[in-house]
Amino acid sequence: MPQEIEIAVADLPDCRRCTAAPLLTARFPYSWQNARDEKVTGFREVMLCQQCDRGTPAADALLALFAVDSQLDLANVETFATLVRTWLEETQERTVDLQLLDMEWDQWQRGNL
Protein backbone atom coordinates (compact mmCIF):
# COMPACT_ATOMS: atom_id res chain seq x y z
CA MET A 1 0.00 0.00 0.00
CA PRO A 2 1.50 3.39 -0.97
CA GLN A 3 2.20 5.82 1.84
CA GLU A 4 0.64 9.25 1.76
CA ILE A 5 3.37 11.88 2.12
CA GLU A 6 2.60 15.56 2.65
CA ILE A 7 5.15 17.99 1.21
CA ALA A 8 5.11 21.69 2.13
CA VAL A 9 7.26 24.44 0.66
CA ALA A 10 5.52 27.54 2.07
CA ASP A 11 4.66 28.90 5.52
CA LEU A 12 7.16 26.62 7.24
CA PRO A 13 8.27 26.85 10.86
CA ASP A 14 11.94 27.54 11.57
CA CYS A 15 14.40 24.65 11.51
CA ARG A 16 14.36 22.92 14.89
CA ARG A 17 18.13 22.45 14.79
CA CYS A 18 19.42 25.91 13.82
CA THR A 19 16.32 28.21 13.53
CA ALA A 20 17.05 29.00 9.85
CA ALA A 21 14.21 28.89 7.34
CA PRO A 22 13.88 25.37 5.89
CA LEU A 23 13.21 24.85 2.19
CA LEU A 24 10.57 22.16 2.62
CA THR A 25 8.98 19.78 5.08
CA ALA A 26 7.69 16.27 4.55
CA ARG A 27 5.26 14.41 6.82
CA PHE A 28 4.81 10.66 6.48
CA PRO A 29 3.51 7.62 8.39
CA TYR A 30 6.04 6.08 10.74
CA SER A 31 6.04 3.17 13.18
CA TRP A 32 8.37 1.50 15.67
CA GLN A 33 8.38 -1.18 18.35
CA ASN A 34 8.23 0.11 21.92
CA ALA A 35 9.89 -1.47 24.97
CA ARG A 36 6.94 -3.89 25.35
CA ASP A 37 7.45 -4.98 21.73
CA GLU A 38 4.19 -3.33 20.68
CA LYS A 39 3.91 -1.56 17.34
CA VAL A 40 3.41 2.18 17.76
CA THR A 41 2.21 4.11 14.73
CA GLY A 42 2.18 7.81 14.06
CA PHE A 43 3.69 10.40 11.79
CA ARG A 44 7.18 11.76 11.38
CA GLU A 45 8.02 15.17 9.99
CA VAL A 46 11.39 16.05 8.48
CA MET A 47 12.75 19.34 7.19
CA LEU A 48 15.24 20.13 4.48
CA CYS A 49 17.45 22.91 5.85
CA GLN A 50 20.16 24.46 3.72
CA GLN A 51 22.30 24.92 6.84
CA CYS A 52 21.85 21.54 8.55
CA ASP A 53 21.28 18.99 5.78
CA ARG A 54 24.33 19.33 3.57
CA GLY A 55 26.56 16.37 3.07
CA THR A 56 24.40 13.56 1.73
CA PRO A 57 23.99 13.04 -2.03
CA ALA A 58 20.19 13.23 -1.94
CA ALA A 59 20.03 16.37 0.20
CA ASP A 60 22.82 18.06 -1.78
CA ALA A 61 21.01 17.43 -5.07
CA LEU A 62 17.76 18.87 -3.73
CA LEU A 63 19.56 21.86 -2.19
CA ALA A 64 21.23 22.48 -5.56
CA LEU A 65 17.83 22.54 -7.27
CA PHE A 66 16.59 25.17 -4.80
CA ALA A 67 19.77 27.20 -5.37
CA VAL A 68 19.25 27.20 -9.15
CA ASP A 69 15.43 27.36 -9.28
CA SER A 70 13.94 29.42 -6.48
CA GLN A 71 10.39 28.57 -7.60
CA LEU A 72 8.58 25.40 -8.58
CA ASP A 73 6.93 25.49 -11.98
CA LEU A 74 6.07 23.11 -14.81
CA ALA A 75 9.66 23.21 -16.08
CA ASN A 76 11.15 21.70 -12.90
CA VAL A 77 8.33 19.89 -11.11
CA GLU A 78 9.34 16.42 -12.39
CA THR A 79 12.95 16.97 -11.35
CA PHE A 80 11.72 18.24 -7.98
CA ALA A 81 9.52 15.16 -7.49
CA THR A 82 12.37 12.78 -8.32
CA LEU A 83 14.82 14.57 -6.01
CA VAL A 84 12.30 14.73 -3.15
CA ARG A 85 11.52 11.02 -3.54
CA THR A 86 15.24 10.17 -3.37
CA TRP A 87 15.77 12.48 -0.38
CA LEU A 88 12.80 10.95 1.44
CA GLU A 89 14.05 7.41 0.85
CA GLU A 90 17.35 8.44 2.43
CA THR A 91 15.67 10.39 5.25
CA GLN A 92 13.16 7.68 6.13
CA GLU A 93 16.01 5.23 6.71
CA ARG A 94 17.75 7.47 9.25
CA THR A 95 17.66 6.39 12.86
CA VAL A 96 18.70 8.07 16.07
CA ASP A 97 22.41 7.88 16.88
CA LEU A 98 22.05 6.55 20.43
CA GLN A 99 25.69 7.22 21.32
CA LEU A 100 25.35 10.85 20.29
CA LEU A 101 22.03 11.12 22.10
CA ASP A 102 23.56 9.72 25.31
CA MET A 103 26.52 12.09 25.01
CA GLU A 104 24.26 15.13 24.49
CA TRP A 105 22.00 14.05 27.37
CA ASP A 106 25.05 13.84 29.63
CA GLN A 107 26.25 17.26 28.49
CA TRP A 108 22.79 18.75 29.03
CA GLN A 109 22.55 17.35 32.55
CA ARG A 110 25.94 18.89 33.39
CA GLY A 111 24.79 22.25 31.97
CA ASN A 112 27.21 22.12 29.05
CA LEU A 113 24.65 22.06 26.25
- CA distance linking residue 21 with residue 11, whole number of Å: 10
Domain boundaries, the chain: 6-109
* Helix (H) / strand (E) containing 66: helix 57-68
Tens place of pLDDT for every residue, the chain, 113 residues?
567 889 998 899 999 888 899 999 999 888 888 889 999 999 989 999 989 898 889 999 999 998 888 777 788 889 999 999 999 988 877 777 788 888 889 999 999 87
pLDDT computed for residue 110 by the predictor: 92
Q: How many CB atoms lie within 10 A of CB 97?
A: 10
Helices then strands, counting H and E runs in the chain, come out as: 3, 3
- Residues 6 or more apart whose Cβ sits within 8 Å of residue 66: 23, 50
Whether this model's pTM surpasses 0.95: no
